[in-house]
Structure 1
Amino acid sequence: MIAAPRSGSGKTTIALGLLRAFRRRGLAVVGLKSGPDYIDPAFHAAASGVEGVNLDSWAMAPDLLAALAGRATAGQALALCEASMGLFDGVPAPPGRSGASADVAAALGMPILLVVDVSGQAQSAAAVVKGCATYDGRLSVAGVILNRVGSERHRRLAAEAIETLGIPVVGALPRSDRLALPERHLGLVQAGETDALDARLDAIADVVEAHVDCGRVLELASAFNLAAPAPGAVALRPPGQRIALARDEAFSFIYPHLVAGWRAAGAEIVAFSPLADEPPAADCDVCWLPGGYPELHAGKLAAAEGFREGLRRFAETKPAHGECGGYMALGRSLVDASGVSHRMAGLLGVGTSFAKRRMTLGYRQARLSADCALGTAGAALRGHEFHYATIVLAGDDDPFALVADAYGTAPSPAGSRRGRVTGSFFHVIAEP
């Protein structure tokens, strides 16, 4: 696991550089991601050539976590799991279920490669490393990579202090703006939209190979043998036999483990593009609109009459569900960042705005208010929210679910349900 004491230390850059470097050496390597994140795993896949998986210790039961890791790493010589936030950052929960990356590493026996941003410090970095190495007895910090090193003297002072702890420093990256990837309001710009992505990944790998002992990293990544995937471990049952799934630049945020699980259960995925004015296939059983960036394409969606009319006809007899961006598209209107209001599908009464931005972020547990595509009334689901859009028109629809956060707040109605159409800002990860 590539982890750090805090966010912003350079985990993503180093993970991408190592994945591409090992791939260039002919090693079968896969990238994993701890915690809820749609964007980093797509970059991992671009760097390694292999689709990985998200592993979440809060949302996923232990058998599902192990099964997903086992399937993703089968046949691979090396797995690199990028941690989220700081290594120990999570939510109040029973032992091993906090969502912290430390829980994932402990559950799977992953040694830690700790990335430490040493800007503004030298020998004091050793105290940080010692704290991380001793805070949780379940973990093994196998090595350290220093990031944002100012000089050779700076590197030597920090590295020598850390190595007195018996923990090797296997790399030291200099301060550089060359490694930056473009960002957007939910994180990095998506992999498929990043200009000259292969060239950027190769440039990052060049820097990592020049400043990190990749052979030593491989030695430290002592093989961890995962148990055979449990055949009954399913994140979410398929919402239908044939699933019409919106997939384009506006609707791309769906977890690969959900789609893979549906296919493994015998479901067929039929992709369509709202931006290309394509409706959901009429012979499908359910339509699923995932999250994404509809606010960046609101004008095009408003003009996609074929998509909207086809979606309306579909929803007259079959269920349709929208998550986050998909929820916004199912609503009455969407106000973009410039304040212009765009007509959406109108299948739900909600109106959303990106002009009035407010970040909403965190784990959520949802209990369905009525039977729908995701399950029966009262069924519990675990997932998260991450959005900047706000609701400016609530409408008079029934709620989709009762939703609570991970901090013990009372459940409250959330989302919308009208007929066979449901939606909310909640992204499902798994059944508890």
Structure 2
Amino acid sequence: MIPPGLMISAPSSGTGKTTLMLGLLAAFRAQGVMVQPFKSGPDYIDPAFHTAASGRASFNVDSWSMDLTVINGLVGNAAGADLILAEGSMGLFDGVAIPGACGNGASADIAAQMGWPVVLVLDVSGAAQSVAATALGFSQMRPDVQLAGVVLNRVASPRHEALVRVGMDAVGIKVLGSLPRRKEIEMPERHLGLVQAGEQENLPELLAQAAAFVSEHVDLEALRAAADGTLQDAPPPARVIPPGMRIALAQDDAFAFVYPHLMAGWRAAGAEILPFSPLGDAAPDPSADVCWLPGGYPELHAGKLAAAENFRRGVQDFARTKPVHGECGGYMAMGAGLVDKDGQRHEMAGLLGLETSFEKRKFHLGYRKATLNAAMPGFAAETRLRGHEFHYASILAEPDAPLAKITDSNGLDVAETGSVRQFEDGGCATGTFFHMIGQGA
């Protein structure tokens, strides 16, 4: 059976969704409540924190890039849990202008499709009764989205809380919790979002503090009682095509961005994942039939990657006879060179001619549709893929043949086409700046 769920959302980014989400996961876990976490939207950092807090793998669900069959199959992972908590992205109703597979990517789509009531996190700093107008608007924006109640965040004092509650009482909206200002349990951030879970040496301590903080200031019993859902029985998971049956997967602080549903899908299809660390100067296992370099932060480790001769030599040898694919950071590491924020160029693996720079950062963000010009691991030419791009790298040169025709969510052409290079002994190198989420028209 699929347990009831809640969507933890907010009017905008930066309101405290993640702090509340992690505190709830850790607090319920401490009570012996088994919670299945999800992340609405194409985020690959938050799910790792969810997993650390809940003890269960967290999965992305996204209405623009996934159809309802895929989403239902992923929600099926909650079978056997006691409660579902999904963390939204950006504001509750924020999405793209033109709908995709089964929505525009807004967290509200997932809440409506799954029947999960919304817990709205409100930053009340600088306002009091007026905050109720915001909550009322959110409760009425979409009739198919139910508001369970609100959690007030960054409350200045008991008097401030009392004033905000007066406003909520006047419009009939339930207050499920009230969080005072507390900076010390906020997670550190860098330019792509939170610092990765694996880099947080004090993560258990932070999670324990968040659990205690949320337990003290949120009505956990009332919040759990508000959970609901329309999916009762676990549907079969959607089939995911692995890029090979033995996958050499780069995994360390420079290469950590892999969507959990893809790795789970690869394993469910019978594929074996063979992790290796480029930062540890390890080469891909030569017995693998494909090498996959995911995204991450190669710009923070460019010098170490340039000095990792065994890795660079090993991945070059591998690519002579077998396919190597890279996404975003992995794609940059496959290139000829990477210029760091200080303007210093570092030699990369040289499988492609790509040259990238972080000296002058340029923001690239958005959903992507791709029609492959050439085959890449797991997919034939002409296959259509959906994904998401999020990086600050500037392209200095992208001289190889374009891997795909790529457009954004509005159907406009995207200049970053990815690259493909064939080698004489049958191997190939392919790469894209977008992270693949799945197949789709």
Could you tell me the TM-score, scaled by structure 2's length? 0.94
Once residues 237 and 53 of structure 1 are traced to their aligned partners in structure 2, the CA distance between those partners, rounded to angstroms, is 17
* Structure 1 residue 183: Cα displacement: 0.9
CA distance in 1, matches of 2:408, 2:369: 6
Work out which of the residue numbers 155, 158, 163 in structure 2 matches 1:149: 155
Question: Equivalents in 1 of 2:19, 2:300: separation in Å?
Answer: 26
Q: 1:92 aligns with which of 58, 82, 97?
A: 97
Q: Does 1:108 align with 2:114?
A: yes
1:121 aligns with 2:127: yes
What secondary structure sits across from 2:183 in the alignment? coil
Deviations 1:297-323 (A, max 9, x none): 111111111111111111111111000
Q: 1:213 offset after TM fit, Å?
A: 0.9
1:410–1:328 CA distance, 2 compared to 1 (3 A) = closer
CA contact (8 A) 1:38 1:254 kept: yes
2:218 aligned to 209, 212, 218, which one?
A: 212
Q: Is the 8 A contact 1:333 1:350 kept in 2?
A: yes
Asked if the contact 1:400–1:413 (Cα under 8 Å) also holds between the matched residues in 2, the reply is no
Counterpart of 2:27 in structure 1: which amino acid?
Answer: A
SS at match of 1:22: helix
Which of 281, 287, 290 is the matching residue for 1:283?
A: 287
The answer to whether residue 36 in structure 2 is matched with residue 33 in structure 1 is no
Q: What are the Cα deviations for residues 24-51 of structure 1, in whole angstroms up to 9, with x where unaligned?
A: 1111112211001111111111111111
1:423 to 428, 431, 441: 431
Look up the match of 1:80.
85
Q: Choose the corresponding residue for 2:261, options 257, 263, 266.
A: 257
1:314 maps to 2:318: yes
Q: Displacement, 1:412?
A: 5.0
Give the structure 1 partner of residue 271 of structure 2: 267
How far apart, in 1, do the equivalents of 2:86 and 2:262 lie?
A: 19
Q: Deviations over 1:45-95 (max 9, x none)?
A: 111111110111101111001110112x11110111000000000012348
Work out the CA distance in 1 between the residues paired with 2:235 and 2:402: 36
SS at structure 2 position matched to 1:274: coil
Distance 1:305 1:412 in 2: 32
DSSP-derived class of the 2:178 partner: strand
Partner of 1:327: 331
Structure 2 equivalent of residue 22 of structure 1? 28
Q: 1:42 aligns with which of 48, 61, 78?
A: 48
Structure-to-structure mapping, 1:350-361, within 5 angstroms: 350-361=354-365
Gaps of 5+ in 1: none
The structural deviation recorded for 1:175 is: 1.7
| Secondary structure of 1:259's aligned partner | helix
In 2, Cα distance between the equivalents of 1:200 and 1:26?
Answer: 19
User: What residue ranges of structure 2 are gaps of 5+ in the alignment?
Assistant: 1-6, 423-427
The amino acid across from 2:69 in the alignment is D
Q: Is 1:201 aligned to residue 221 of structure 2?
A: no
Question: Are the equivalent residues in 1 in contact too, given 2:114–2:229 (CA < 8 A)?
Answer: no
Q: Does 1:171 align with 2:177?
A: yes
Code of the aligned partner of 2:226: L
SS in 1 for 2:208: helix
Provide the secondary structure at the position in 2 that maps to 1:410. coil
In the other structure, the counterpart of 2:4 is none
Pair 1:328–1:413, CA change in 2 (3 A): closer
1:238-291 Cα deviation digits (max 9, x unpaired): 111111111111110001100110110111111111111111111111110000
d(CA) in 1 for partners of 2:376, 2:151: 48
- Identify the residue that residue 242 of structure 1 maps to in structure 2: 246
**Secondary structure, in 3 states, of the residue corresponding to 1:148?**
strand
Q: Deviations over 1:145-179 (max 9, x none)?
A: 01111121211121122133332101111122122
2:377 corresponds, among 358, 373, 378, to 373
Could you tell me how far apart the structure 1 residues matched to 2:389 and 2:229 are? 34
1:372 deviates by 2.0
Residue type of the partner of 1:378?
E
Q: Distance in 2 between matches of 1:86 and 1:67?
A: 25
With over 3 angstroms needed to count, the CA separation of the structure-2 counterparts of 1:248 and 1:342, relative to structure 1, is: same
Corresponding position of 2:406: 403
TM-score (norm 1): 0.96
SS at match of 2:331: helix
The 3-state SS of whatever aligns with 1:356 is coil
The question of whether the paired residues in 1 share the 8 Å contact of 2:419 and 2:432 is answered with yes
2:112 and 2:144 in contact (8 A); partners too: yes
Quote how far apart the aligned CAs of 1:224 are: 4.8
Query: In the TM superposition, what are the counterparts of 1:332-347 in structure 2 within 5 Å?
Result: 332-347=336-351
Q: In 2, are the aligned partners of 1:182 and 1:194 still within 8 Å (CA)?
A: no
Q: Note the C-alpha offset of 1:184.
A: 1.0
Contact 1:372 1:422 in 2 (8 A): yes
Which residue does 2:425 correspond to in 1?
none
Q: Could you say what secondary structure the match of 2:256 adopts?
A: strand
CA distance in 2, matches of 1:425, 1:48: 31
Counterpart residue type for residue 217 of structure 2 = H
Q: Secondary structure at the match of 1:164?
A: helix
CA distance in 1: counterparts of 2:398 and 2:375, whole angstroms: 22
Cα distance between partner residues in 2 of 1:229 and 1:280: 36
Measured after TM superposition, the shift of residue 223 of structure 1 is 5.3
